[in-house]
Structure 1
Amino acid sequence: MKKLLLVSAVGLALSGCGGGSGGGNNDNNGGSVTPPVTEPAVASVAGSIEKINGNEITVNGRSFTVESVKFNNTTLPNFTFKQNMTNMMVQVNTAEKASSATVTLEPTMAGLVTYRNGTSFAVNGITLDFAALSDDIDVGDWVFVSSLPTANAGYKVLSVVEIDVEHEYPELEDHYEIEGRIASIEPGTQMFVLGSNIDVYYGDAVSLPAKGLKVGQWVEVEGRNAVDHFAATEVELDGYDIDDAFENSDIEGIVTSVENLHTGEPSFSLNYRGSFATDSSTCYRLDDSSRCDSNLMKNLKQGVEVEVTSKYVAGQRIASIVEFDQPDWDDNDNIWQGNEFECEGIANYDANTETFTMPYCENGADQPIANKTVVIDTQTRFEGVSQQYLDGRRVEVEGVIINGQNIAREVELDN
């Protein structure tokens, strides 16, 4: 198959980002290196808090003086970042150090702790584990939980921060939310599965996406815990590539799929929340390096931590800089291996389920897999063939295995 046969030739075929060459460095074994890239201006920075110093926070290596803090479109008066709030996920409205910087808190979950046993705990009825969970956090406390995705669409907890909703922020006391990728939808029962196993009932939601719910959407869900499920009152799209909300942004996260690496202009998804294309000007560089190195493209793979600076062009998010971070989290090694797949042959398409079966599929370790059913979701791209006319066409498929499902990321007509 094309990617499997040609990926080993990437280092030989690529030219430098934006042209130019150099003598290499200790990291690229003599690859193409360009002069320092001109740092693009970005309107927002999204990532985890690395450092807190008074009213200054550091996110994605950039320092910001905090003027105001928001959550759920509401300003939190007198909110102060404390040392135990490192690793909280936030979005900052400017890439420049400025006295007017507004920080929006972006937790994965917000609500009450409903269970605690050692490092295991539950928020909104969802059980999680966090080795650094503070002894001060107990059942009944209201918390922000920040996380990154895991290979099975679960949650790798980065921080758990208690918020005083009794005295300081009573407006949050009855606010509960979770976010994640929609894995499946059952219209008959008005339920969908979020992440790997969170059941959400949306039948009483007063607000839903205008074009409906679809598998693969990244959504933010407000509601309440209803014992065996989460009852949604609002469901809102929150992906990186749904519009220009993340215009000229710098986003930190985990690469969750990669396609077309052999072409020199791959596409990839980040945090399951959205897709990024690349072009001939995309700069690949190491953490804290200002130099582009095209050979680093081969490091773009599932499970790698990156910071992506992007722009929104003609309805597509283009990565202008892909910066490979030193791992912040020490348990990512090997858990993503084998979670990509490829298929080839004639597709047997079922329009009712938006799935199709293929005669042959293999995983990222070049091993044949028994599951030959492929799921189309909102991030699936089609090249040379449309979904409507997929049945009976000979195609090649690249995708990612999420919680046992083969999710198509690119379907290309096989000429």
Structure 2
Amino acid sequence: MKKLVLVSLLGAILTGCGGGGGSDDKSDNNSNHRPNAAQGTIERVSGNVITVNGHQYDVASVNYLAGDENVALSTTQLSPGMLVALSPNPTRAVGQHVQLEPTIAGIITITNKDSGQFTVNGVALTFPKLSALVDQGHIRGGDWVMVSSLPTATDGYKVLSVVKFENEILKDHFEIEGTISNLDKTNLRFNLGAALTVIYTQNSVEGGELANGLWVEVEGKAIGNTINATEVEIETYDDIDNDTEIEGLLTWVANDKSAFELNYRGRFNVTAQTRFEDGNKNHLVQGTMIEVTTGTNNTALEIEFDNDNDDSNSWNGNDIDIEGTVNSIDETNMSFTIGSRNIDTIYVNRFTEFDDGLTFRSLTQQEVEVEASIVNGQYIASEIERLD
């Protein structure tokens, strides 16, 4: 699905136009400015006003892209916990356009209501609030739902909301987002999450070359634990405009805190001019929730820590430094091996940074230090430099 190109963020996960009628919830002087665009989680809904990233926005229109269908929806269908992207409405002077950005969408099967366990087209999930939603009649087995979630340190999803939709266009649509692992370019398949196998064609891929560790959105038909993909789109923050605010999870942080990755989708740089709220540079730790406002070339202008949703403890040990001599590289799988007795295979992708004049093709027999993360059981290199 083609994503909304945000104008003027993880700017972020939601945004609003300064000309909108909504007021600003944030009291800190540095937070009074509302960014031009935003991505994030809906915190509150009151009539046509929603709160995202601590800012209130008047909503002028709502849509969801289901394949090639641009489905118009009502503001009454917005709910706290939904992931959205906001941008100035192109047809109205006042109010924001809201695009829904669920992680998973499809038919729900409730496997254990009391424990909050359910599946969406075979994807196993848990949501503690599900029991109340079922008891109140908001969700039943067989409903078509949107699931908003955050990535976890393992290969699962931290569910934020489950919302039912009744729409003839949506009833047969299925999509899921997640990180690629076990990519097999010969047989055109990869794993997504803990148990899903995605079968794709070269023509179904959008946004660049597939690689392990990249976050993708997959649309298609699910049969058991296999998805026959009609579209695989790489999700990145490469084209984020200045003054966008993004909410998200730190999925990698450089050892010197000079850069970080958000939601597995892109890298942001920290400079001497970066402002911090509710924390400082030392609080940039993998698994921490933040809101980042972006400047030129994905520079972080401002970082605000969400201390109420800190999940960093569950990410302990997920960042790893590996040192040694590179034995060989594999250009097909974009990986290399390092070590002698204990040989590690490390994968690179579009977000891997090579320092000290290194390139992927020049790695063989080089002594290197690799900053890597464990993603779905595989080492994904974020930064590679010569070993001092």
Do these two structures clear the TM 0.5 threshold for a shared fold by scoring above it?
yes
Q: Distance in 2 between matches of 1:55 and 1:336?
A: 37
Aligned match of 1:155: 157
Is 1:122–2:119 an aligned residue pair? yes
Residue 92 in structure 1 maps to residue 86 in structure 2: yes
Q: CA deviation at 1:40?
A: 6.4
Shift of 1:345: 2.5
The aligned counterpart of 1:349 is 328
1:78 and 1:358 mapped to 2: Cα distance?
51
**Structure 1 position 354, deviation (Å):** 2.6
Match of 1:191?
A: 189
* Structure 2 contact 64–72 (Cα < 8 Å) conserved: no
Larger radius of gyration: 1
CA contact (8 A) 1:148 1:158 kept: yes
Distance in 1 between residues matched to 2:207 and 2:49, nearest whole Å: 38
1:125-136 to 2 correspondences below 5 Å: 125-133=122-130, 134-135=133-134, 136=137
Please provide the CA RMSD for this pair. 2.6
Distance verdict in 2 for CA 1:408–1:63, change over 3 Å: same
1:413 CA drift (Å): 1.7
**Alignment CA distance shift 1:254-1:211 (3 Å):** closer
The reply to whether residue 318 of structure 1 matches residue 299 of structure 2 is: yes
The offset of 1:116, in angstroms, is 3.0
Opposite residue 270 of structure 1, the aligned amino acid is L
**What secondary structure, in the 3-state scheme, does the structure 2 residue paired with 1:148 have?**
strand
* 1:216 equivalent in alignment to 2:213: yes
Q: Tell me the distance in 1 between the aligned counterparts of 2:71 and 2:329.
A: 49
- Fraction of identical pairs, as percent: 38
1:392 aligns with 2:365: yes
TM-score by length of 1: 0.77
CA contact (8 A) 1:360 1:372 kept: no
Alpha-carbon offset, residue 38 of structure 1: 8.2
TM-score (norm. length: structure 2): 0.82
| Structure 1 unaligned blocks of 5 or more | 1-34, 287-292, 362-369
Query: Do residues 301 (structure 1) and 285 (structure 2) align?
Result: yes
Contact 1:49/1:86, CA 8 A, preserved across alignment = yes
CA distance in 1, matches of 2:362, 2:123: 40
Counterpart AA for 1:68 = S
Task: Indicate if the aligned counterparts of 2:121 and 2:224 stay in contact, CA closer than 8 A.
Answer: no
Matches within 5 A, 1:162-241: 162-165=164-167, 170-203=168-201, 207-209=204-206, 211-241=208-238
Q: Which residue of 2 aligns with 1:267?
A: 259
Q: Which region of structure 1 is more displaced relative to structure 2, 219-228 or 48-57? A: 219-228
Match for 2:387: what amino acid?
D
What is the deviation of 1:93?
Answer: 0.7
Post-superposition Cα deviations, 1:322-341, rounded to whole Å, max 9, x if no partner, equal 11112237xx3521111111
Structure 1 residues 212 and 407, CA, compared in 2 at 3 Å: closer, same or farther?
A: closer
Structure 1 residues 267, 322: closer, same or farther in 2, change over 3 A? same
In structure 1, give the amino acid aligned to 2:83: M
Number of corresponding residues: 348
Match of 1:403 among 373, 376, 384: 376
